[in-house]
């Protein structure tokens, strides 16, 4: 059984970017990674990676302050309340940003080439992987034994 209070990301991936908590895309994944880092069970997953930094930049929340809160053992509900108390973003802004994050893809040719190579290597016949969030879902799945 998965223990989401102290996830072992050596045994299973974090939640998808598409899982929204309080309207925030990526918040569940961010919390999973932070909790796993705090427990020393993050595997190859990093806290404050470029995708995490998109969240911190959007919300104006300091990653170290959030990590300190994560380490206190707060639930998702309690962390959502903390996030809401520490950002000035409105509900419409949160929904717009979350939709953008879920659909955000590579900008330049190098990014497109990297995405194409990753898809070819893991799920060459798939035509539904368009955004980084979709690519992360695929990578998480195949990294833990799934076949794309």
Q: pLDDT per position in the chain (148 positions), as tens?
A: 778 788 999 999 999 999 999 999 999 999 999 999 999 999 999 999 999 999 999 999 999 999 999 999 999 999 999 999 999 999 999 999 999 999 998 878 888 888 888 888 888 888 888 888 999 999 999 989 888 7
Q: How far, in Å, CA of 104 to CA of 42, rounded?
A: 25
Positive or negative CA dihedral for 107, 111, 116, 121? Answer: negative
pLDDT at 51: 92
Query: What is the predicted pLDDT for the residue at 83?
Result: 98
Neighbours of 96 (CB within 10 A): 13
Question: What's residue 45's pLDDT?
Answer: 96
Residue 57's pLDDT is what?
Answer: 98
The single-letter DSSP state of residue 25 is E
pTM for this structure? 0.91
Beta-bridge partners for 25? 20
Q: Helix crossing, 63-70 with 50-59: angle to 10°?
A: 100
Contact 14, 45 (CB under 8 A): yes
Q: Bridge partners of 21?
A: 24
Q: Distance between CA atoms of 25 and 16, rounded to whole angstroms?
A: 9
Contact 22, 80 (CB under 8 A): yes
CB 59 within 8 A of CB 86: yes
């Amino acid at each position: 059984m998965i223990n989401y209070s102290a996830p072992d990301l050596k045994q299973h991936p974090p939640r998808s970017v598409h899982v929204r908590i309080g309207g925030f895309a990526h918040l569940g994944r961010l919390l999973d990674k932070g909790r796993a880092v705090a427990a020393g069970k993050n595997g190859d997953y990093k806290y404050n990676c470029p995708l995490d930094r998109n969240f911190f930049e959007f919300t104006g929340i300091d990653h170290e302050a959030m990590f300190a809160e994560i380490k206190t053992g707060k639930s998702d509900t309690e962390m959502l309340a903390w996030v809401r108390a520490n950002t000035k973003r409105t509900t419409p802004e949160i929904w717009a940003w979350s939709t953008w994050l879920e659909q955000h893809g590579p900008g330049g040719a190098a990014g497109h080439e990297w995405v194409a190579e990753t898809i070819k290597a893991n799920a060459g016949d798939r035509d539904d992987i368009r955004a980084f969030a979709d690519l992360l879902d695929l990578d998480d799945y195949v990294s833990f034994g799934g076949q794309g």
